[in-house]
Amino acid sequence: MLTIAGAADLREAIQRQPDMMADLRLVAELGLPQGCIAAGYIRNFVWDMLHGYTERTPLHDVDVLYYDPACLEEEAEKAYDTWLCERNPRLNWSAKNQARMHLRNGTAPYRSVEDAMRHWPETATAVGARLNAVGEVELIAPLGLDDLLLLQVRQGPYFHDHAAFRERVDGKAWLSRWPRLEMI
């Protein structure tokens, strides 16, 4: 069984994955403010590794987050999805401007990608990665990495709908797919 002890190990693990690095380079090409790939893309990768799976769990979509309060039109997101899909059609890209997600979520406006991620349903999902100016992997983890790396499923501290949290965990069948997970 592989272990990932912290942020440095996770960055290194991502850098050893040619497909992930290609995806991160593609997103970096867009030049999106605070742009990153997050959620299941990172979470599933880590949980698969920590379970010793040699095949990656298929993704429903690849969440690309960015923060651009100057352009709140959903059409811009769709244009980014199209651009990404044209360059890598094997993935279902889903770009979302976190400057407008508060409208969908019925919350106060978010101040950044990190602020938006703080309000996600579970802590282990609130992790993203991007490439910095010199092509190194940077992690975004406003709620920390502990739950992700310790295989713990915990409701996010700013997500207050426990029924929706449980429905999400059960609906995605995480505890069956990754049996070492622990519900907190």
CA angle 98, 43, 136 (to 5 degrees): 75
- Token code pair at residue 10: 């996770």
Q: Which candidate, 50, 55, 77, places its Cα nearest to that of 66? A: 77
- How many alpha carbons fall within 13 Å on the CB side of residue 133? 0
List the chain pLDDT tens, one digit each, 184 residues. Answer: 567 879 999 999 999 999 999 999 999 999 999 999 999 999 999 999 999 999 999 999 999 999 999 999 999 999 999 999 999 999 999 999 999 998 777 788 999 999 999 999 999 999 999 999 999 999 999 999 999 999 999 999 999 999 999 999 999 999 999 999 999 9
What pLDDT does residue 126 have? 98
Distance CA 164, CA 74 (A): 25
Domains and CATH numbers, the chain: 7-183 (3.30.460.10)
Tell whether pTM > 0.85.
yes
Indicate the helix (H) or strand (E) that contains 105.
helix 101-105
Helices (H) and strands (E) in the chain, counts: 9, 7
